[in-house]
Structure 1
Amino acid sequence: MLFEFGIKDFVDILLVAMILYYIYRLMRESRSLNVFIGILVFIITWLFVSQVLEMRLLGSILDKLVGVGVIALIVLFQDEIRKFLYNVGAHRRMRAFVKLFSSKIDGEETKRALKETIMPIVMAAMNMSRGKVGALIVIERTMPLDEVAGTGDLIDSNINQRLIENIFFKNSPLHDGAMIISKKRIKAAGCILPVSHDMDIPKELGLRHRAAMGISQESDAVAVVVSEETGCISIAVGGHFRLRLSAEELESFLTKELE
């Protein structure tokens, strides 16, 4: 009897392909691509031995290894798995679905609070841009940045334009690190971020930009960078840069990403 290929089989293959592609992207971003390829080769070998060749002894050994290997992979890639689950929950369509259950009044209050959060950042960035004062502001979204905030000095203050500018003033002891904004408050400053070693980053971009790219690759945070050399304002989000933004573009982008 010939194998019957139906629409359910097509959907099944499509879903598996999408999952494998997403895992591939996740592993590539975390520089674990060789591990992913090794796991894929092992799975293909296991399926070939147990399903095609039907080798009972070798197949049973590989079955046991797969059972233990799943637990080992969960322990080994717990950070990547947590990031995957956060990304699923933070997906735009998922957030839009959640918003269906929120009231219109809550929506207006959220917009007002969002504007109060964004405008001091935009105004401070523009003033620092004119004075060529280097700055790096990281805005937390769904993935907590407690560990990163712990590397700096805790502040826990309302978001204030003057405070932001004073923290990044050239003679300030905290101006070299990153500022973390969480839950509409300045949580910490002088924080150390993971630096991206991506070879695709333009060479004219300095350490602040590499740190912004690093945190955007390891979390869903939005990083705002003001260049000390050129005064240009840039944003790093999702492992990508938006360079040389105007005040209007910065406000529009932050509103879109943080709503």
Structure 2
Amino acid sequence: MNLQQLYRYLSLDALHVTWTDVAEIIILSFIIYQILIWIKTTRAWSLLKGFSVIMALLAVAAIFHMNTILWIAKNFFSLGIMAVIVVFQPELRRALEQLGENNLLTTIVPFDSSRKEELSISDRTISELVKASFEMGKARTGALMVLEQSVSLNEYERTGIAIDSLVSSQLILNIFEKNTPLHDGAVILSGDRVRSATCYLPLSDNMTLSKALGTRHRAAVGISEVSDSLTIVVSEETGSVSVAKNGRLLRNLNQEQLKEQLQTLQTRISEKNRKIKLWKGRGRHEDKAAE
């Protein structure tokens, strides 16, 4: 086969592909890409993993002709679609809002990839958080500090007052000082910056949590159930410092234990950032520059 025959074989006319089909492929690719980004940065990622398990079980049921299971799945499919829409209504609304706010070109080709790197936590920030937490504990000052990771907390940031300042123990102490305008609610941090204060968080419905825990601790567990964030809680009643993550509450931590939790988070984020840089092909260039 010569080059001319190969070109004729691969041409759009030979494949009966029109420019309308090409445009449809581009549009569908864009839509699928946006859906994948939305899944990755919301609770939908956990739902997708659970859905994959269910689909695998249904595939097994189909192979072994388990007709009862297939009948139940068929009848509950439409109900499941409605349930997903109800559960993820806030995320769907926010996704459509972002699509309308963003420039179309930057939405299709995301030039600004610095957000992941902004989430990096420095040793200084860890020291300032530990210092502020235990100073507030000694003074019996209640506090709630949420450290954002890969799941965006923009929905909750919007319920508070924007600050966008570097993390410092003095700033945190001033924010949570009693009878000040910003002391009520949670502070959301992203990397080394305080993004927003007086934020409202979802309360956990976990019935296994101790009845002695107040709203502050239930809010810390609640945000950890709907995101991959880590939340530091300082009790106003006892002055104890706790950490909420992955729907669990680690109570009565000392300074070393809190520092250890934050360093673990720091390591995890650094590894993600390194993988992103390697994927971009910049890792080798940066290593040479460092030498």
When normalised by structure 1's length, the TM-score is: 0.62
Kept in 2, the 8 Å contact 1:114–1:255? The answer is no
**8 Å contact kept, 1:141–1:258:** no
Aligned to 2:249: 241
- Shift of the alpha carbon at 1:244? 0.4
Match of 1:119 in 2: 127
Distance 1:71 1:248, change over 3 A: same
- List, as ranges, runs of 4+ consecutive aligned residues in structure 1 with deviation greater than 2 Å: 50-53, 61-79
- Is 1:180 aligned to 2:180, yes or no? no
Query: 1:198 and 1:67 mapped to 2: Cα distance?
Result: 27
Q: Structure 2 stretches of 5 or more lacking a match? A: 1-42, 93-117, 268-291
Q: 2:221 aligns with which of 210, 213, 216?
A: 213
164-173 vs 61-70, which moves further: 61-70
Shift of 1:160: 1.0
- Distance between the aligned counterparts of 2:73 and 2:132, measured in 1? 59
The residue identity in structure 2 corresponding to 1:122 is: V
SS at match of 2:181: coil
The one-letter amino acid of 1:257's match is L
Task: Report the alpha carbon displacement of residue 67 of structure 1 after superposing the two structures with TM.
Answer: 8.2
1:143 aligns with 2:151: yes
Cα separation, partners in 2 of 1:69 and 1:51, compared to 1, 3 Å? farther
What's the CA shift string for 1:93-124, capped at 9, x where partnerless?
A: xxxxxxxxxxxxxxxxx9x9521221111100
Contact 2:167 2:194 in 1 (8 A): yes
Alpha-carbon distance in structure 2 between the residues aligned to 1:256 and 1:132:
27
Cα distance in 2, alignment partners of residues 116 and 47 from structure 1? 56
Structure 1 stretches lacking a partner, 5+ long: 1-25, 31-35, 54-58, 83-109
Q: Higher Cα Rg: structure 1 or 2?
A: 2
Counting aligned pairs with the same residue, the percent is: 37
SS at match of 2:252: coil
Provide the aligned C-alpha RMSD in A.
3.9
Tell me if the contact between 1:139 and 1:222 (Cα under 8 Å) persists in the aligned partners: yes
Q: Tell me, in whole angstroms, the C-alpha distance in 1 between the residues paired with 2:212 and 2:72.
A: 50
Distance 1:227 1:74, change over 3 A: closer
Q: Cα–Cα, structure 1 residues 52 and 188, in superposed 2: closer, same or farther, change >3 Å?
A: closer
TM-score, normalised to structure 2, is: 0.56
State the Cα distance separating 1:51 from its structure 2 match.
3.5
